[in-house]
Structure 1
Amino acid sequence: MKVDYADNCDFQSWIDLLELVKESFPGLDLKEYKNVLHQSILNQEALIAKNDKGKLVGELIFSRKNCELAFLATHPRYRKNGIATNLIQHMFDLFPKGTNLKVITYREGDVKGIAARKLYQSIGFIEGKFITVFNYPCQELNYII
C-alpha cells in the first residue's frame, strides 16, 4: 500500500469511494464536499492510500490551519488492514512535534461510531469536548504529536 497526496486525477476515484461510505457521514452535502476536496487537493491537504494494483482504498482530508483531521474513509472491502492507521500516521508526519490535532467523531455509545472511536483511541486520541454537528451529537478527540 502506498500513501501519497491526492491530485486531480484521483478526484473521481475519491468520489466513488465516498459514495460507498456516505451513510456514515450525516449532513454530507456532496456539492460542498466536492468543493472542499478540490481545495484540499490544491493545498496538499488530501491524502490517499492505493493498493498494489493502484486502486484507491483509503482517503483522508486534514487542515493545517485548524490542526484537524477532517475526513477519513476506507473502502469497505479493505478495512482492518491498517489503511486508516497508515493514513493518520502519514498525516502526523506533516505537523510539527507538539501540535494538538483534533478529530470530530460520534459520541461513545453511538453504534455508528464504534469502529471510528476504537481506531482513534488505539492510536492515542483522547476524549475532548462534546459538540453538535449538523444537528447530530458528536465529540472532539485530541492527539498531541
Structure 2
Amino acid sequence: MKKKSVIDIEAVISYIENNLDGKVELDTVARYVHYSKYYIHRMFTKTVGMTIHDYVVRRQLTEAAKLLVFSTKPIIEIAFICGYESQPAFTVAFKAMYKITPAEYRERQEFYPLQLRVTLHSKNVKINFSKSDIRLAKMEDISAWMELVRLVIDGYPNLNELEYIEKLKVCIEQRNALILEKQNTVVGVMAFSYDTGSIEFMGIHPQYRNKGIQKLFLDKLIEEYIPDREISTTTYRKHDRADTGYRNELMQLGFAERELLIEFGYPTQRFVRSDHIMEVKNSD
C-alpha cells in the first residue's frame, strides 16, 4: 500500500494542477485534504523539495510560458488564465523566474518549463544506499533517466530535452553517466566530464533529496572516476528566486563559489570543490 503521507501529497498536487487558473493558497489546500496547514506545508516541502507556494508559482508560470509560445492569446489574458490579477504583477513574477519579460519570451519562441508536474513514487524505497549501488548508465536507462530529469527540471533552466538526450547518449557511450536505481526506482543520476572534471548534470528524485544521495555520487566520482581532480559545476546565482535550494546543497557538499557566468542566456555561477585533493595529499 502507499504510505499515507504520499497519498496526501498526491492529493495536494492533483488539487493544484486542477486549479492553476486561480489563486491556490495554503489554507484552501489544507481544507481540501482535511489536514492542518502546518502539517501539509511541512509534508509537502519535505516530499517535493519546495513549498506549496513556490510549486504553484513555478507551475503557473510554466503554463504561462507555454501559452506565450504556442498561442496567440494577449499577454493580459494569459496573466488572468494563469492566476494573476493584473499584467504588471504577472510581468514582475515572470521576469523574476525567466529573467526576461513575457513579451521578450514570446518573441524568442523557445519554450522551456520552470516546473513540470511532480510524480511521486508510490512508496519510499526502504533501504540503505551506498556507493556500490551507483553504476554506469546504459542506453536502456534513458527513458527512466529522462523521467527523473523532468522531475528536477527546476534545477536546470533552459534545458532542451532533445539536445539533452543526444548528449546523454554520448555520455553513456563514453562511460561518464552514472545512475542509482533500486527496486526499479531511479533515485539519482549524474553526468560528468573526464576532461574538465565538471559535473554536467546531477539530479536526485525530490523524495530522496534529504537522504545524502548527492554525497554518495560525489564520493563515487572522486574515488573511482576522476580522483585528484578539481570538481566543478554550475548553478543559480545568489538570490535568484528560481533556485529551490541547489546552491545551498552544493555548499553543504563542500563546494565554493567562483566566477559568474552566462550559460545559454541564463545567469549562473560556477562552484568548485578541491579540498579533497589536499585531503589525499595529507594522507600520503
TM-score higher than 0.5: yes
Is the contact made by 1:85 and 1:119 (CA closer than 8 Å) also made in structure 2? Answer: no
Range 37-46 or range 74-83, more displaced: 74-83
Q: Distance in 2 between matches of 1:111 and 1:88?
A: 26
Note the C-alpha offset of 1:114. 5.1
Matching of residues 115-134 of structure 1 within 5 Å = 115-134=245-264
Residue 267 of structure 2 corresponds to 137
- Tell me whether 1:96 sits opposite 2:234 in the alignment: no
Q: Distance in 1 between matches of 2:242 and 2:231?
A: 22
Residue 152 of structure 2 aligns to a residue whose secondary structure is helix
TM-score normalised by structure 2 residue count: 0.48
C-alpha RMSD of the superposition = 1.4
Alignment counterpart, residue 164 of structure 2, candidates 33, 42, 49: 33
Q: Distance in 1 between matches of 2:246 and 2:150?
A: 18
Cα pair distance change 1:114/1:19, threshold 3 Å: closer
TM-score normalised by structure 1 residue count: 0.91
Note the C-alpha offset of 1:54. 3.3
Q: Which has the higher helix share?
A: 2
Is the contact made by 1:108 and 1:114 (CA closer than 8 Å) also made in structure 2? Answer: no
Q: Which has the higher strand share?
A: 1
Is the contact made by 1:3 and 1:50 (CA closer than 8 Å) also made in structure 2? Answer: yes
Aligned residue-pair number:
143
Is the contact made by 2:192 and 2:200 (CA closer than 8 Å) also made in structure 1? Answer: yes
Residue 87 of structure 1 corresponds to 217
- Tell me whether 1:70 sits opposite 2:70 in the alignment: no
Matching of residues 8-47 of structure 1 within 5 Å = 8-47=139-178
Q: Distance in 2 between matches of 1:111 and 1:81?
A: 24
| Percent of pairs with identical residues | 28
Cα pair distance change 1:55/1:20, threshold 3 Å: same
Q: Distance in 2 between matches of 1:22 and 1:115?
A: 13
**Structure 2: segments with no counterpart, 5+ residues:** 1-128, 278-284
Is the contact made by 1:58 and 1:72 (CA closer than 8 Å) also made in structure 2? Answer: yes
Residue 113 of structure 1 aligns to a residue whose secondary structure is coil
Q: Distance in 2 between matches of 1:124 and 1:85?
A: 10
Residue 243 of structure 2 aligns to a residue whose secondary structure is helix
Cα pair distance change 1:24/1:95, threshold 3 Å: closer
Q: Distance in 2 between matches of 1:72 and 1:40?
A: 13
Q: For CA contacts below 8 A with separation 6 or more, give which structure has more relative contact order.
A: 1
Range 20-29 or range 81-90, more displaced: 20-29
Alignment counterpart, residue 48 of structure 1, candidates 176, 179, 183: 179
Which amino acid is the alignment partner of residue 208 of structure 2?
Y
